[in-house]
Structure 1
Amino acid sequence: MAKYRHDLPQLKGGTFLSDGGLETTMIFHEGIALPHFAAFVLLASEDGRQRTRNYYRRYLDIARRHGTGFVLDTSTWRANPDWGRKLGYTSEALKAANEEAVELLVGLRNAYERQEQPIVISGAIGPRGDGYKAGLMSAHEAEDYHAFQIEAFAGTEADMVSAFTLTNIDEAIGITRAAKSFAMPCAISFTLETDGRLVTGRSIQNAIETTDAATGGGPVYYMINCAHPTHFEGALDHGSAWVKRISGIRANASTMSHEQLDNSEMLDAGDPEDLGRRYRRLLDHMPELRVLGGCCGTDHRHVAAICEACLPQAA
């Protein structure tokens, strides 16, 4: 039975942390090769499961020290049918991997959760294609395609699903509709280019307003991920209704463009303290922000710096 599926605590206020760049941490810090950037393959061995647990524990320890809640996302960004086939997974094995990813997080929640620090388990969904390129699916196709993974999560203790690194508004609409069909709360996270727009050229305002209009305000909230604050802070019209729908930020460590990151063989970890200060400025203008974490290139140091900047009263 899902603990918070019908009563998500992050919707009630307070600050919730999330983790950083799982895949970039495993590749560049742990020296683990992840085929097709897929972290869920680590669940296939006890060593991989233990490494995954250790990764999350660093962030859960930070949340415990700062007295915050946590949104614990599964390692399943690539665990959808097309990527699963590329990785040699049958449909049955892929479904099991999504379920095992939730089970691992349930164990962590049981060990870390306190009454005043709720831990929400979120099934992470990635785009059907490349997170840096425009997808071509219609909303109907996206709903049908992503239903597989969402249905798998619906049968577990996952409290919600979160779709990350989306570039296609129709894909966001389809995911939201699929989540609704399985009674799963859904967060939609778009990724933006250095001009603050989706790779299709459409604005974040248009993405949020179009998705809301097509789904009756279906997402419980929106997020921005896989972009540095310098890329999108100027695109946010503070005070507008659509900006108030953004409740989470998971930014990249680097100010480089997606093309530059794709072609880089080195990890650009940026400046954790500067990133923390930029989150503070975002929070000053966006009191609706509830979920703070990182994306590519970030690790526990960046999330700790975000806490120091945004929660100065914390111990």
Structure 2
Amino acid sequence: MGMLDRLFSSPDAFISDGGMETDLIFHEGAELPLFVSFVLLDNPQGREMLRRYARSYCDMAQAAKRGFMLGTPTWRANCGWGAKLGLDDAAIRDVNRRAIAFARDLRDNHPWRNHILIEGVLGPAGDGYAPEELLTPADATRLHSAQLEAFAEEEVDIASAFTITHPGEAIGIIGRARELGLPVTVSFTVETDGRLPNGQDLDTALGSVEAATGGYARYYGINCAHPDHFFDKLPSHWLDRIGMIRPNASRRSHAELDEATQLDDGDPQEFGVLSAQIARRLPHLRVVGGCCGSDIRHIEALIAAGA
């Protein structure tokens, strides 16, 4: 059985981590310019911080006897953000290769390694809270190709796009992954009203992406929103295609979170209960975890609640 097959054959959803960037910034004192976590790969102290963080979740997954999605610290390692960081395509490829090698080494040296998938993480080429522009699929392909090609060359188990704000970018990502034969998932973010930042409802967005890509995505997800923001907004006829939830710990809007100077980590126990309630509505849920403000307490709580 291949590693990815385990994700779809497991009787329980795999677990993932919480909000890595917010956790490392507010709990570990990490300095992440522009919210870029891959800079930690550049020095021994940063690599050790990432290693401790990932190991804690691998250990938790082992204790719970659950599969674990080990994501690379590459949410902003695309050509959209690379330009702001002075990185060209070659440098973006190098960053992603190093991140994958780091994750693979960590996985291969953990006793739970046969239950850990390497997840190539990508994010929007612009602001995940307030998109500066709505990309066409062609523009999205251009901005994400270097990263996706690195993922394919290094044979990550799956590529997961998080905090996507509009269908055009999702279509471009999935289309390029399809050309590369790379397994891929796309997770959208929603506002407090359950709609995408471009104002579109989930039903319309998922329908347009699914039609344009021939259903190539392994599943879709929702992340970077509190459970209350989307629990009653899930389109009923797409429930079997939503395979991942990674909610925020906070009920604040994206605009409020963007201005926050202190972490709002909500109530971990409530987070676990609400996540489990959503999980019970999704017949093909494959991955559960957290996003901004959440940490290992929140993931332990959702496991305890039965998510």
Common fold: TM-score over 0.5: yes
Partner of 2:123: 126
Deviation of 1:94 (Å): 2.1
User: What is the 5 A alignment of 1:75-154?
Assistant: 75-112=73-110, 114=112, 118-134=115-131, 135-154=133-152
In structure 2, C-alpha distance between the alignment counterparts of 1:8 and 1:129, rounded to whole Å: 32
User: What is the 5 A alignment of 1:94-243?
Assistant: 94-112=92-110, 114=112, 118-134=115-131, 135-238=133-236, 240=237, 242-243=238-239
Deviation of 1:36 (Å): 0.5
In structure 2, C-alpha distance between the alignment counterparts of 1:268 and 1:147, rounded to whole Å: 34
Q: Deviations over 1:194-229 (max 9, x none)?
A: 000101111111111111100000100001000000
Partner of 1:250: 246
SS at match of 2:73: coil
Deviation of 1:52 (Å): 0.5
SS at match of 1:9: helix
Task: Pick which of 223-232 and 92-101 moved more.
Answer: 92-101
Runs of 4+ displaced beyond 4 Å: none
SS at match of 2:288: strand
Structure with greater proportional helix content: 2
Q: Percent identity?
A: 45
Task: Pick which of 102-111 and 251-260 moved more.
Answer: 102-111
In structure 1, C-alpha distance between the alignment counterparts of 2:150 and 2:280, rounded to whole Å: 38
Partner of 1:30: 28
Partner of 1:267: 263
Structure 2 residue identity aligned to 1:306: L
Say whether the 8 Å CA contact 2:36–2:76 is kept in structure 1.
Answer: yes
Structure 1 15/253 Cα, relative in aligned 2: closer, same or farther at 3 Å? same
Whether 2:296 is the aligned partner of 1:300: answer yes
Deviation of 1:113 (Å): 5.2
SS at match of 1:285: coil
Deviation of 1:97 (Å): 1.0
TM-score (norm. length: structure 2): 0.95
TM-score (norm. length: structure 1): 0.93
Say whether the 8 Å CA contact 1:17–1:71 is kept in structure 2.
Answer: yes
Deviation of 1:167 (Å): 0.4
In structure 2, C-alpha distance between the alignment counterparts of 1:159 and 1:206, rounded to whole Å: 29
Say whether the 8 Å CA contact 2:58–2:112 is kept in structure 1.
Answer: no
In structure 1, C-alpha distance between the alignment counterparts of 2:293 and 2:99, rounded to whole Å: 22
Q: How many residues align?
A: 304
Say whether the 8 Å CA contact 1:76–1:101 is kept in structure 2.
Answer: yes
In structure 2, C-alpha distance between the alignment counterparts of 1:215 and 1:259, rounded to whole Å: 31
Task: Pick which of 103-112 and 164-173 moved more.
Answer: 103-112
Give RMSD over aligned pairs. 1.4
Partner of 2:285: 289
Q: Deviations over 1:34-85 (max 9, x none)?
A: 1000001111111111110111111111111100001111100011113122
Deviation of 1:120 (Å): 1.1
Whether 2:52 is the aligned partner of 1:19: answer no
Deviation of 1:257 (Å): 0.4
Say whether the 8 Å CA contact 1:28–1:267 is kept in structure 2.
Answer: yes
Say whether the 8 Å CA contact 1:76–1:124 is kept in structure 2.
Answer: yes
In structure 2, C-alpha distance between the alignment counterparts of 1:114 and 1:60, rounded to whole Å: 7
Say whether the 8 Å CA contact 2:135–2:168 is kept in structure 1.
Answer: yes
Structure 1 288/113 Cα, relative in aligned 2: closer, same or farther at 3 Å? farther
Deviation of 1:176 (Å): 0.1
Unaligned runs of 5+ in 2: none
Structure 2 residue identity aligned to 1:121: I
Structure 1 114/34 Cα, relative in aligned 2: closer, same or farther at 3 Å? closer
Q: Which of these residues, 30, 34, 48, is aligned with residue 50 of structure 1?
A: 48
SS at match of 2:283: coil
Whether 2:28 is the aligned partner of 1:10: answer no
In structure 2, C-alpha distance between the alignment counterparts of 1:173 and 1:82, rounded to whole Å: 16
Structure 2 residue identity aligned to 1:160: I
Deviation of 1:253 (Å): 0.5
In structure 1, C-alpha distance between the alignment counterparts of 2:43 and 2:136, rounded to whole Å: 37
